[in-house]
Amino acid sequence: MPDVTPGPVAVDTMGGDHGPGAVVAGAVAAARADGARLILVGDGPTIHDLLAEHGASGEVPIAHADETLSMEEGALASRRKPRSSIAICCRLIRSGQAAAMVSAGTTAGVVATARLRLRGQHGVMRPAIAVTLPTRPRPTVLLDAGATTDAKPEMLVQFAALGTAYAQVAFGVAAPRVGLLTIGVEPGKGNKVTRRAHEMLAAIPVDFAGNIEGDDLLTGGVDVIVTDGFTGNVALKSMEGAVRLAVAEMRTAMTATPAAKIGALLQRKRLRELAERLDSETYGGGVLLGLNGTVVIAHGGSNARAITSACALARDLSAGQIVERIRERVAVARLPRFGRRGHGDQPELVFGE
């Protein structure tokens, strides 16, 4: 599929732990190095001054936003603040002035605002946050990382379609293999939702590799891992906590001989890097899929380099027409009429248009 020239990426400068300075620095680098077309959204005078600092006045257009969603504000604020920087980013997408957006704001705030203002794309029941796990030889997409906490089996099946489209566009995997996160590898294992989802996934045209367990998340055995937002979020944070404990364990081992300490320091460095990779590539850093527009949620702690990467990802996803690819995949994942078994609030199990 040939990439199209994508529209600009709206960049929320008000989110993130490091303030507008880091976001603008990262955006300017993306505009200059990658030639990404951007719109900087936030407090106009602040952005103006920051651009001047980089000698980039006039290089990147600015869209002023009166309000900010603070890190403490959750989902409710998205209704109360129609002129927040995140809401303005969504408005630029709705009006066709932007093709995608990047925000390092709180995940809850970005998800709630984007759901409200971009709305779900046709045929998709619920959105999902796709995160990238640092597996080898190539990365694994896990979704949902927290957007839809009470997912029905039909939604998990759609997540398989969303994740397949994402792995194709973001990583160029021709036929992504999809695993279902559950407990026990046999088809009959799991809870009610995953048992039903397993049956459904086996009946639609995705490359379904079957059940996978928590200890398979980082082994790279599949390209896409499907789970509900509650389980996905718990699993991701559990992995982060375990690696953080491993780093702490290393610290207590630092009483060895000076010669040994050199090795120990090298090892700790590697572990810390692993912890950071798990942290920044997973929870809090992801792509919200299934809405009428591409939303890249950068990690709250993103530095300028991470913002540059997020801008490039947003540009690449809209160049790869991720929203259109999802529409096609969800239509392909249209299920045969299953007997109802007490799941789903949809009148029938027909996905797509």
Asked if 249 interacts with its own copies (CB under 8 A), we say yes
Closer CB to its own copies, residue 21 or residue 220?
A: 220
Q: What does the block give as tokens for 291? A: 């809405």
Using CB under 8 A, which of the segments 119-127, 154-162, 264-272, 294-302 binds its own copies?
Answer: 264-272
Give the bridge partners for 211, in sequence order: 180
Asked if 185 interacts with its own copies (CB under 8 A), we say no
Q: Please report how close the Cβ of residue 74 comes to its own copies at its closest, in angstroms.
A: 8
Considering only 191, 340, 341, 350, the residue that binds its own copies (CB under 8 A) is: 191
Closer CB to its own copies, residue 9 or residue 143?
A: 143
Residue with tokens 């912890």: 275
Give me the torsion for CA of 178, 171, 276, 287, rounded to 10°: -80
Closer CB to its own copies, residue 47 or residue 236?
A: 236
Q: Which amino acid is at 261?
A: K
Considering only 46, 84, 121, 194, the residue that binds its own copies (CB under 8 A) is: 194
What mask, x for binding its own copies by CB under 8 A, covers residues 308 to 337?
------------------------------
What mask, x for binding its own copies by CB under 8 A, covers residues 207 to 246?
------xxxxxxx--------xxxx-xxxxxxxxxxxxxx
Q: Are strands 224-226 and 177-181 parallel, antiparallel or unpaired?
A: parallel
Considering only 79, 138, 192, 341, the residue that binds its own copies (CB under 8 A) is: 192
CA 252 remoteness from chain centre: 35
Q: Which amino acid is at 295?
A: V
CA distance 119 to 121: 6
Q: Are strands 128-133 and 224-226 parallel, antiparallel or unpaired?
A: unpaired
Asked if 274 interacts with its own copies (CB under 8 A), we say yes
Asked if 257 interacts with its own copies (CB under 8 A), we say yes
Closer CB to its own copies, residue 21 or residue 214?
A: 214
CA distance 347 to 335: 13
CA distance 275 to 271: 6
| Number of residues that this document lists for the chain | 353
Q: Are strands 286-289 and 224-226 parallel, antiparallel or unpaired?
A: unpaired
CA 329 → CA 102, 153, 201, 349, distances in Å? 24, 17, 13, 16
Instruction: Report the chain's C-alpha Rg in angstroms.
Output: 21
Closer CB to its own copies, residue 1 or residue 245?
A: 245
Q: Please report how close the Cβ of residue 160 comes to its own copies at its closest, in angstroms.
A: 18
Closer CB to its own copies, residue 215 or residue 348?
A: 215
Q: Tell me which residues touch its own copies (CB under 8 A).
A: 74, 108, 146, 149-150, 181-184, 186, 190-192, 194, 213-219, 228-231, 233-246, 249-250, 253, 256-257, 259-268, 270-271, 274, 278
